[in-house]
Structure 1
């Protein structure tokens, strides 16, 4: 006896793109837990979600460019597929009202009016600030100069597939030291992905400077990279 085929769900009638921040203690939350929090929040907010087809339908929520666990961020993105047309700002406000403190909606727009392309296609680089603790500004500047003067800096990181070695230098678009002694980093999204803490490891490799463990990684912006200027465009900007 053949198994009854599941009901086919209608496609979304509207897609809303949301930028949210991950602040305070929520920076230690994994992407999986953030995803669960958002899925619970759309239900609590009464947002009319479209659902996937199949035997186990799930709300049409798409994530892109999630920051690493332990990093704060002012620029995380999610796209909601809706079954009914709604005002994007109202959806963002309803979602923000029921999300945990530290997950804060910053902006919400209709995907049809924002930049063309999928959300993941519009997130090609990130701007990071990296706390170097008590490292003197002069020593940090010397380490950055040594790093930038090197064509390739190989670092190692444990991944799901084991220990991997890769070049962290090629992904660095801009690297400077702020007057406060933080690293100001523009990092291109590459394969394999280079993380901001990989760049800190690269500084040690290139300069010999014993940079302390970072106190805080903060993603300031994420979007489309203009390689000529090093600027990062807003993926939610209207066409």
Structure 2
């Protein structure tokens, strides 16, 4: 029987603290992927001198957990990840150091000590804002009302295992339109998190399928919030508030 190989040297120091971190993805950095952010974050953690905990084994990696990242191309004010560290640290100091070390457009919003329970379980819904420059606000309003009048609208998207069809209407809890100070038509909507995830472009595809709406160009999508969904208040609550 072959002997089982074990890594040389002592095991890595144990994690003594877990931090939950909210960050924003703004400007041109909205086009960065989760993988791009991961690489930038690991560099920033080293520059900031954060005492990261590492996994054991032949290929140790920093203990970072990502949660429900926005699709590439969408801006976001509410992205989340967790890190584990080997020394007790001040969350606010870590936030300041990381924010200084990350590229402009990847901005730390808050850092808190993690309490028991999975962060992913608290990310139940998102509030999105879609900007439609050059679109008649009345036309957008009519299209949204036509969409909301439907009970089920199926859309399709290519996944790793092939094309999949799913309902893009059911997860939309609410949607409304307005006009900003520049005259741009705005769609705001609350979408529950499902599997597969219904993204803003899925909702737009469903709107165009249900109505004659055809925007002249793709809207700019921004996730304003994600967190705990309350059916009583129809709101998305801060997932870090209980931490």
Asked if TM exceeds 0.5, the reply is: yes
1:44 and 2:37 aligned: no
1:221 and 2:222 aligned: no
Quote the residue 1:83 is aligned against: 86
Question: C-alpha distance in 2, partners of 1:167/1:37?
Answer: 35
Structure 1 stretches (4+) deviating beyond 2 angstroms? 6-11, 211-215
Task: Give me the TM-score of the superposition, normalised by structure 2.
Answer: 0.93
Find the partner of 1:98 among 97, 101, 107: 101
Question: C-alpha distance in 1, partners of 2:169/2:122?
Answer: 22
1:131 and 2:134 aligned: no
Give 1:11 deviation, angstroms: 3.7
Question: C-alpha distance in 1, partners of 2:103/2:17?
Answer: 25
Question: C-alpha distance in 2, partners of 1:212/1:17?
Answer: 40
- Asked if the contact 1:128–1:186 (Cα under 8 Å) also holds between the matched residues in 2, the reply is yes
Cα pair distance change 1:160/1:213, threshold 3 Å: farther
1:142 and 2:142 aligned: yes
Give 1:4 deviation, angstroms: 3.0
Quote the residue 1:32 is aligned against: 35
Aligned length: 236
Determine helix, strand or coil for the equivalent of 1:66: coil
Unaligned ranges ≥5, structure 2: none
Question: C-alpha distance in 1, partners of 2:147/2:220?
Answer: 21
Determine helix, strand or coil for the equivalent of 2:132: coil
- Asked if the contact 1:200–1:211 (Cα under 8 Å) also holds between the matched residues in 2, the reply is no
- Asked if the contact 1:73–1:219 (Cα under 8 Å) also holds between the matched residues in 2, the reply is yes
Give 1:156 deviation, angstroms: 1.5
Question: C-alpha distance in 2, partners of 1:211/1:117?
Answer: 42
Task: Give me the TM-score of the superposition, normalised by structure 1.
Answer: 0.94
> How do 1:60-79 residues align onto structure 2 when only pairs under 5 Å count?
60-79=63-82
Give 1:212 deviation, angstroms: 3.4
Question: C-alpha distance in 2, partners of 1:189/1:8?
Answer: 38
Give 1:117 deviation, angstroms: 1.9
Once the two structures are superposed, residues 67-87 of structure 1 have per-residue CA deviations (whole angstroms, 9 ceiling, x without a partner) of 100000111111110100101
Question: C-alpha distance in 1, partners of 2:47/2:98?
Answer: 8
Question: C-alpha distance in 2, partners of 1:165/1:31?
Answer: 24
Give 1:10 deviation, angstroms: 4.4
Unaligned ranges ≥5, structure 1: none
